Structure 1
Amino acid sequence: MTLKEMDLEYVLHTYARNYVNFKNGIDATLYDEEGKDYIDFTSGIGVVSVGHGNKRLSEAICEQAKNIIHISNLYLIEPQAILAKRLVELSGYDMRLFFANSGAEANEGAIKIARKYGEVDGEIKRYKIITLKHSFHGRTITALKATGQEAMHNYFGPFPDGFVYAENIDEIEKLIDEHTVAVMIELIQGEGGVEPQDKEKVQNLAKMLKEKDVLLIVDEVQTGIYRTGELLASNLYEIEPDIITLAKGLGGGVPIGAIMTSLKDIFKPGDHGSTFGGNYLSTRAANEVIDILEEYKNSGRLDELMIYFEDKLKEIAKRYENLFEKEVGIGFMRGLRAKSADIQSKLLQKSFENRVLVLKAGRNTVRFLPPLTISKDEINEGIERFEKAIKSLEQ
């Protein structure tokens, strides 16, 4: 039985896989079992923030694994406390953290915080949460209902009540009523087409919500941990949310999620929990990721390569105006908006055939989420292969 046959026989068919067997990787380059190299512009969907095979991260993980991997949150976890302190100090926000295992879990926890905030003397007074159409907040039942894409809601109902979808930021205020407790947004919609929100509109929204005592939850599962050039996209947008959720790039590949909140005493013991969340292994890895990326940011190298990558994609968008509407995104969270779903689909497949990995996103967008430590040579090689894929469409 081949590996592909084994996968098809024993693994649930929830992914439209490309059947390639990667054996190792160095930074933004992956190698399959035949030794062929692939330029990775996906970083495991924004997860492998410090690249594949990062020596510092692997050594930190190995060192921790030799001592303690897990003890549970019933006891003090040294790297967890250190990570919480660092994220608070680097963000500049006066917050406390809860650690989970994924972005969906972090968003579930954020929703629970908002719902508890809406209670008065144990009675539910406010429970509605407004999210945006085209948003994506996770695959669990509640996070899926928070996702403002109707297609995502097929088959899995009945869903929890209390979610309202705004067409855009401009529409949010008129949807707020006496039962509204929070607004939950992505500052850049990833699955929704790498679509950045307007900075001034976001700032006005944050001010209005504060005046109305409605919580602002910012889903930074994809935008967080220097993906946009700053530790948080919230820093870039110069706002102070009440709740921020993190995951993906925080662990560099080790599963971890986090909730940051200014509601520092909202939860009491027993209100929320996680068996694995924030254990020794995941928080030790996350601390090393933060070390690496903070140094990289301070060196100026991160900003330099983000600009370089952006310029390359803008050149492609201009050169192939027959295929693309525009280039979109911020930092190393970018996209090329194709003129049709057919162009997008064919280009994803042709890119894979030319050994450059890219992603699909909404609004017919080809999405790019390279490792933050990608080299200029890897950018050049990846763009060259991507352009070959484009040219193969025109033949």
Structure 2
Amino acid sequence: MSNTKDLDKKYVLPTYARADVEFVSGDNAKLYDANGKRYIDFASGIAVCSVGHANKRVNDAICNQLSKLTHTSNLYYIAPQAKAAQKIVEASGYDMKCFFGNSGAEANEGAIKIARKFGEKEGELKRYKVITLQHSFHGRTITTVKATGQSYMHNYFGPYPDGFVYADDINHVESLVDDHTCAVMIELVQGEGGVQPLDREAVQKLAKFLKSKNVLLIIDEVQTGVYRTGKFLASNYYDIEPDIVTLAKGLGGGVPIGVVMTTHKDVFSAGDHGSTFGGNFLSATAACEVMDILDEMYDEGTLQKSIDYFDDSLEKFYSAHRDIFTSKVGIGMMCGLRVKDGDTLAKIILNAREEGVIVLRAGRDTLRLLPALTITKEEIDEGFEALNRVLSSL
């Protein structure tokens, strides 16, 4: 551990406030550090390791592909990419096509480019404005930082691209739509904003309004997508039909991948957008296997059983500690508990790691839980037993 810390300090830019731990192996929802200590992982790499750590099916699929080809570039046809696109579109239930990149930020950049080209083609006026919500998070590129509706992130790196407008809440969006608006981009459950689900009826009302105005609805499903909320997309849960959807995180099971998919299949022409690595043999093969595993779990009902068991366990934990938590939030396996103050939240996260369970912060006051969708009842029980010890020691 000390050697890794020394190398990191000497050679890696200090953009992360790293926890004092080095993980070296894992097994489903369990992690092991360099000292052999075991942890229950209620974070899954920030919703990335959707089918757990060291998933044998994913590993076997990747190893088999690596023995043949890793990368050729998007100048040629890539069979796993085409298959991954088919699986994603069919699971979504929408009539869309996909573009593959490497991250959620890239997917959101692609969504913004689609929306602005749509505004150029369809409107008499140049439509370029994109409305997002306060407390949103859409990425860390120059453009997606500006799209993020959190003012503290709009520092150091300006000047930023123009054309982003922030609504106070979902009910404020309609009043901001004007002749220059091409799209509205929202997360149905705001992750970094505190695991805050949007009101279902308000979202449906907004979707209908935007259709009437020929303004695109972009749903950022980077964190909510790939069965995180129990449905393949949170958009399915909200019963809406977006024009553009973005995915990343859990799709590759730990291999970097991002996807933007849209009903506007002809908006891009050759050369309008591209990616050297996006959707290559490695990442697309991983995505195909992850999709197969989670599709099976969804069809068999085992996914919903896991969600129900985790939710019941979380409810018991919340009810036992009402002196610490003020409310329970989230949908499916994207869960949060509001903590009475930030200092207490910081202590919980630190002490949880010492007790052998990994949890996250969201916003200023939310304990965030994002377990692997394949987590077992035994792993859930062990994790909450550790959290109960943490709360008892405060």
TM normalised by structure 1 equals 0.98
- 1:307 matched residue in structure 2: 308
Q: How does 1:8-47 map to 2 (within 5 A)?
A: 8-47=9-48
Output the CA distance in 2 between the equivalents of 1:4 and 1:86. 41
Equivalences for 1:1-395 in 2 at 5 Å?
A: 2-120=3-121, 125-393=126-394
Deviation by residue 1:176-218 (Cα, 9 ceiling, x = unmatched): 1111110000000001000001111111110000001110000
Q: Is the 8 A contact 1:337 1:363 kept in 2?
A: no
Q: Distance in 2 between matches of 1:54 and 1:181?
A: 41
How far did 1:89 drift?
A: 1.3
Unpaired runs of at least 5, structure 1: none
Residue 156 of structure 2 aligns to a residue whose secondary structure is: coil
C-alpha distance in 2, partners of 1:9/1:19?
A: 16
Pairwise CA distance, 1:124: 6.3
Partners of 2:58 and 2:161 lie apart in 1 by: 39
| Aligned structure 1 segments of 4 or more residues deviating by more than 4 angstroms | 121-124
Structure 1 CA distance for aligned equivalents of residues 204 and 362 of structure 2? 26
Q: Is the 8 A contact 1:50 1:371 kept in 2?
A: yes
SS of 1:3 mapped into structure 2 = helix
Matched to 1:21, the amino acid is: E
Q: Provide the C-alpha distance between the structure 2 equivalents of 1:8 and 1:124, rounded to a whole number of angstroms.
A: 51
Please give the alpha-carbon distance, in whole angstroms, between the structure 1 residues aligned to 2:83 and 2:39: 36
Relative to structure 1, the CA distance from residue 122 to residue 241 in structure 2 (aligned partners, 3 Å threshold; closer, same or farther) is closer
Could you tell me how far 1:9 is from its partner in structure 2? 1.6
Q: Secondary structure at the match of 1:67?
A: coil
State the alpha-carbon separation in 2 of the partners of residues 288 and 346 from structure 1: 38
Helix, strand or coil at the partner of 1:2: helix
* Offset, 1:319: 1.7
- Measure the CA separation in 2 of the matches of 1:329 and 1:254: 25
Shift of 1:35: 1.6
Partner SS, residue 366 of structure 1: strand
TM-score, length of structure 2 as denominator length? 0.98
C-alpha displacement at 1:45, in angstroms? 0.3
Q: Deviations over 1:322-371 (max 9, x none)?
A: 11111110110000110111111111111111110001101410100000
- Take 1:363 and 1:35, find their aligned partners in 2: how far apart are those partners? 32
Q: CA offsets per residue over residues 218-273 of structure 1, 9 Å max, x none?
A: 00000000001111111111100000000000000000000110000000000000
3-state SS in 2 of match to 1:216: strand
Q: Show structure 2 runs of 5+ residues with no match.
A: none
Paired letter, 1:10: Y
Paired residues of 1:251 and 1:282 also in contact (CA < 8 A): yes
> CA–CA distance in 2 between the matches of 1:97 and 1:215?
17
Q: Which amino acid aligns with 1:333?
A: M
Amino acid in structure 2 at the alignment position of 1:271: D
Quote the offset at 1:315 in angstroms: 1.8
The aligned amino acid for 1:14 is T
Shift of 1:122: 10
**C-alpha separation in 1, matches of 2:312 and 2:65:** 40
- 1:26-83 C-alpha deviation (Å, 9 max, x unpaired): 1000111222100000000000000001100000000000101000000000011111
**Counterpart residue identity of residue 109, structure 2:** E
Q: Compare 58-67 and 318-327 and name the one that shifted more.
A: 318-327
Sequence identity percentage: 62
Name the CA distance, whole Å, in 2 between partners of 1:314 and 1:124: 51
Q: Distance in 1 between matches of 2:122 and 2:205?
A: 31
Give SS of 2:218's match: strand
Q: 2:122, 2:27 → 1: CA distance?
A: 55
Letter in 1 for 2:206: L
Give 1:255's aligned amino acid. Answer: P
Moved more, 202-211 or 112-121: 112-121
Tell me the CA shift for residue 317 of structure 1.
Answer: 1.9
8 Å Cα contact 2:125/2:179 also seen in 1: no
